[in-house]
Amino acid sequence: MESGIIWFLTALISVLIVLPYYLKFRKSQREHLQRKKEAQALGLDRPHAQYPFIDVNHCIGCGSCVEACPEGDVLGVVWGKATVINAMRCVGHGFCEQVCPVGAIEVGLGDIKQRTDIPVLSEHFETNIPGIYIVGELSGFSLIRNAIIQGNQAVTHIAGTSRRSTDPEVLDVLIVGAGPAGVSAALTAIQHGLSYVILEQHDLGGTILKYPRRKLVMTRPVEIPLYGMLEKTEIEKEELLEIWYRIQREFRLKLRTGERVVDIQRQEDGSFRIISTGGEYRALHVVLALGRRGTPRKLGVPGEALPKVLYQLIDAQSYQHMKLLVVGGGDSAVEAAIGLARQKGNTVHISYRKPRFFRIKQKNQERIQQLIRQKKIFPLFNSRIVEITPNTVILEQEGQRLELPNDFVFIFIGGEPPFDFLKKIGIQFGPEVAVDGTPGSS
């Protein structure tokens, strides 16, 4: 009798301890499964760059990777195994890989045989055209840290070749793009005594210049060639640009801004003729650090050519006491809306074609939700712009026509990547051609 009571009490205590954990697990499982289904339906489970590859045979479903991800919503645990839910949110921090106790996660590009948006590159980031290299976002890897490392590695490889220019009219390397990858490539060229020039169609900083004011750029500690360690894990746009300006002054970077490269032609002697909007150059090697965003993607609606339609937000403080519409559902759109909503007297709407925000960072999710609750941002989900007029903007939302008073429209729906330009000069994508130019061996 006494042993029966002890058994019953032991079982009861076990149930009281285990049951809450079981119920919590079941709730989390249902939430992750629902998120997974939503992401698949919207095509968000397919990545644009690197993302976590999970070995389900080794995964123990502990959830450490889910908790470690600073972006939120990338990973979940479904049926006892970690799974990628929102691949488009992954920017490659790699924290999930670091914390996995059984080594079941590897962050990378995966099998590029199915990735027609990624150029075929060697381990040194050389394309199928010997002498032309691609670094930074175009290689498929995001993050400032990756861009800096790749720019350094590509030019280090160039310095290790026997090809050096003996003609003062021919550069050792021409670098296209003055973002993190391009600046790193230039510093490495200086380090190895290579002659170089950077061409940038905008200004020093590249894509970073298009970020909203005070945008936080996630990084990991990385060594910038000649400059030293960049230790911070969070750094604002302005501070990062100041580092680039300091580098430009200290090392006297040979930078030519306002020049867009329109063609690259191989010459009979193996060098390259580079044609830009500012002139022509000759170089033995070319490093393309163009980024993936390219030219802003447009809506293609009446009125989009009006001066009040903009594709970037440089300074939110310039817009006060205005009626504003932001179009898009990614981080750039949300950050612009947040910045504009914090200015005096603004009425800010944000139009997004999907039912909620799926691709944004966790911090941005929290900030915009707070501003929505405070009635400082008005979301228009499942909506699209039909027409833009000088004083209004006309939208369609779930079959209903809306006309809003409007002073400015900010469009953040991505950019057209420079893939056509790359294909024009002969860069190969996908599995068709290997880096040595032979068919089918990539």
Q: Is the pLDDT of residue 414 over 50?
A: yes
Q: Which of 361, 359, 396 is nearest to 381 (CA)?
A: 396
Q: Is the pLDDT of residue 171 over 80?
A: yes
Buried b (16+ CB within 10 A) or exposed e, 43-65: ebbebbbbbbebeeeebebbebb
Residue 369 phi/psi, 5-degree rounding, is -65, -40
Which residue has better confidence, 10 or 42? 10
pLDDT band at 214 (very low <50, low <70, confident <90, very high): low
Which residue has better confidence, 392 or 442? 392
Give the residue-averaged pLDDT of 375-399.
95
Which residue has better confidence, 211 or 191? 191
Residues facing residue 274 across a β-bridge: 264, 281
Contact 176, 261 (CB under 8 A): yes
Give the residue-averaged pLDDT of 267-275.
94
Run of H or E including 330: none
Dig out the tokens for 218 from the structure: 């996630």
Which residue has better confidence, 100 or 376? 376
CA atoms within 13 A on the CB side of 17: 6
Mean residue pLDDT of the chain comes to 83
Contact 240, 209 (CB under 8 A): no
Residue 42 phi/psi, 5-degree rounding, is -95, 0
Residue-level pLDDT at 23: 57
What string of DSSP letters covers 260-300? -EEEEEE-TTS-EEEEETTEEEEEEEEEE---S--EEP---
Which residue has better confidence, 6 or 298? 298
pLDDT band at 337 (very low <50, low <70, confident <90, very high): very high
Q: Mind listing the pLDDT tens digit for each residue in 113-154?
A: 556 778 888 999 999 999 999 998 888 777 788 889 999 999
Q: Mind listing the pLDDT tens digit for each residue in 16-67?
A: 665 565 555 566 666 666 666 665 665 555 556 677 888 888 888 888 888 8
Q: Is the pLDDT of residue 303 over 50?
A: yes
Q: Mind listing the pLDDT tens digit for each residue in 69-110?
A: 877 678 888 877 888 887 777 776 778 888 888 888 877 665
Residue 322 phi/psi, 5-degree rounding, is -130, 160
Give the residue-averaged pLDDT of 416-427.
88
- State how far the Cα of 208 lies from the Cα of 215, in Å rounded to an integer: 9
Give the residue-averaged pLDDT of 358-387.
91
- What sign for the dihedral angle of Cα 25, 31, 33, 39? negative
Q: Is the pLDDT of residue 284 over 90?
A: yes
- State how far the Cα of 425 lies from the Cα of 265, in Å rounded to an integer: 7
Residue-level pLDDT at 433: 44
CA angle (139, 140, 143) in 5-degree steps: 100
- State how far the Cα of 254 lies from the Cα of 272, in Å rounded to an integer: 19
Q: Of 145-149, 288-292, 376-380, where does the model show the most confidence? A: 376-380
Q: Is the pLDDT of residue 280 over 50?
A: yes
- Lowest average pLDDT, out of 10-14, 272-276, 357-361, goes to 10-14
- Lowest average pLDDT, out of 39-48, 109-118, 191-200, 331-340, goes to 39-48
- State how far the Cα of 224 lies from the Cα of 127, in Å rounded to an integer: 24
Q: Which of 265, 294, 254, 262 is nearest to 278 (CA)?
A: 262
Q: Is the pLDDT of residue 369 over 90?
A: yes
Residue-level pLDDT at 441: 31
Residue-level pLDDT at 18: 57
Give the Cβ contact number of residue 119 at 10 Å. Answer: 23
Residue-level pLDDT at 241: 87
pLDDT band at 2 (very low <50, low <70, confident <90, very high): low
